[in-house]
Structure 1
Amino acid sequence: MPRRKKRQQQISRIPRKQGRFETQKKISEVIEIDEAINKTYEDIRENVKEAITKVGNIKKRSYTGTSRSTIWRKKKNKTNEMMDISFNIEIPTTLPLLLQPSQDIIQDPISPIDTRISLHTRLEEVNEQCIITKSSKANIPTYDYLRLLSINRFISLLLDGKNKMDASIQVARSVWNKGDYKARCIRKWGDYFIQTGELFIDHQGKHKKLIGLFEDNSFSINCQSWLQQQKPELRSPKALKIYIEGTLLPTLEYIKKDTISESTCKNYMKMWGYMYNEKRKGVYYDGHERPDVVIYRKEWLKRMFTYKKHMKNFENDNVIESQLKPELVQVTHDECHFYANDRQRKIWTIENEEILYSKYPGRSIMVSAFICPCHGLLRLSDEQLLTNPHIKYKETFVLRSTQTDGYWKSEHMLDQV
């Protein structure tokens, strides 16, 4: 569609009423408004041209290099140049270094003496720590050992004349196979070690977000007081587990679980100072290695090996008959004492805890019996028990009290047989 002419545009802006054009008077008003708009546009155009001309005539100001970024950059470059000058020193060949720097460096008379001595001292310290850690296999994490090696190499490169930036990047690539971030860490570790002589302690990831039971003072106090109130024979991780689940956990709002494992209770008791060991009265010496006992044992073994040839051999569920006659059956005798004051041997005790037990063992009962491999526990039949009314027990048990019946002797064993 072709563009409208000026007259057509003027006519299109004339208001219409019921399909007819307005009067000629209104048409002339529209034309005057249009001419005024065009005149205003031309005035604005002239003003813009004048403003552009004035701006173009203004002289450009020259840059004097006084911005903050430029000043900071110049200061940093000057510091790096001073560091390069201060580290151009000569290394003596007799210094026992783990990583020897190059020997072709000429001593700079401008370098500070204090800086040179400090770097030599720190390098010797880190070398000593690396050697001790590697030789003694101390309990040090691998990450800390690598940090020591990085500091060692970092200081050595500084003494070789490199600046901190290049030295840290080289160590990060050679030791860690990392980039700029690890280089920044190495610079931080090295600066801290040069100033203090200690390895930088990193607290990243060591802040607890949750409170555990062991860190709760009231929980620890309640558990330890309860353990102190219990008898040593009754202390156990299982008993502590029952106490915690039934008494303490329902009162703790920040713990959602209502159970605790027995192994956790065991670890808590160890951290509170309890040890599971045997409470002994004193030193006990047995006579198993006395000369006369050793001689008798050798003779007894010879006789037993001779008797064994006439016995049946039991291997798992198989029975191997003996080819020699007469056949012999091995019958063993066993006895056991039970005292009224018998206690559990191994108990949970805290360090330096004195437990006073009664020295009197109390009344005792001794059980004696005979056992053979083919018949098991020797016992009487019902008929034999009726014909021997003086025997009270079918299984040939003998119950005796040391206080009333005296000690068990060989005569009593023969009577039992």
Structure 2
Amino acid sequence: MDIVNYLEDPVIQKRHGLKKTVSLSTAQWWLRKLGYWWKKEKCGQYSDGHERSDVVHYHQNIFLPEWRSIEHHLWNWKYDDPSHEDIPSTMSPGSRYVVVWFHDKSTFYANDRHKVRWEHVDEDALPQPKGDGASIMVAHFVSADYRFLQSPDGKESAHILFRAGKSCDGYYSSNDILKQATQAMDILEKHFLGEDHIFIFDNATTHLKHAENALSAHHMPKNPSKSWGPDAVVRDGGRKPIMGPDNKPVKTKVLMAPGCLHDGTPQPLYFLAGHLQAGWFKGMSQILQE
């Protein structure tokens, strides 16, 4: 009925030179003529994008060369023996071992359950809750050398539990990633100073966010402006967004971070004290002239 209702609109009829809509049977006939059939949608194989050209390029030309450059600083593990192998001969004397920590997270839902089980013949069917229910996310760092990132006595851990939702912990953001990474680095600096450490995150958008005052020419005005600046979400002491009356995060303007001139000198993007327009954004034209 969608196409029938769509063609009933006088504006659409005028655009296509029609005087009336088509009947439902006519629309169905043409759909079959064009190769469409009314049936249940099939479930196809999930595609995760690993074969995209940009992903392959990053994997082959950035990630793998970087991994090769540190490979001789890593412990090598035998398949049948959990103990360390001998120190690699390619590792120069005085070099430090490198421990690679992979960040990962999983979300669990209250209504997750097995759909198939042993059921007694006298057991009655019970109403089941709709939807997935409340969720909890677990995020942690793990390595082949030490398993999960925690202190030797297990009292300090880099794992976090996050309950998503407006009435719970909000929504997982880059600030939560930074907070967890800082927590992990504190543990490493306290208990694992004898090695170098690398954190590896997946390519999720949460992990790619720039700082709120990072350099960006997006929407940058050509001329000086008193009010222009990047928008930043206002947060409370617990780093949670403050919501406005419209139930949307409250935002404020922040100063963009300085740039850098060709000789390495910092380039403020705002007029300094003593200028007639002190505190104003300089504008793209002035920035390029400098």
TM range (shorter): 0.3 to 0.5
User: Could you say which structure has the greater relative contact order, defined with CA pairs below 8 angstroms and 6 or more residues apart?
Assistant: 2
TM-score scaled by structure 2?
A: 0.35
TM-score scaled by structure 1?
A: 0.26
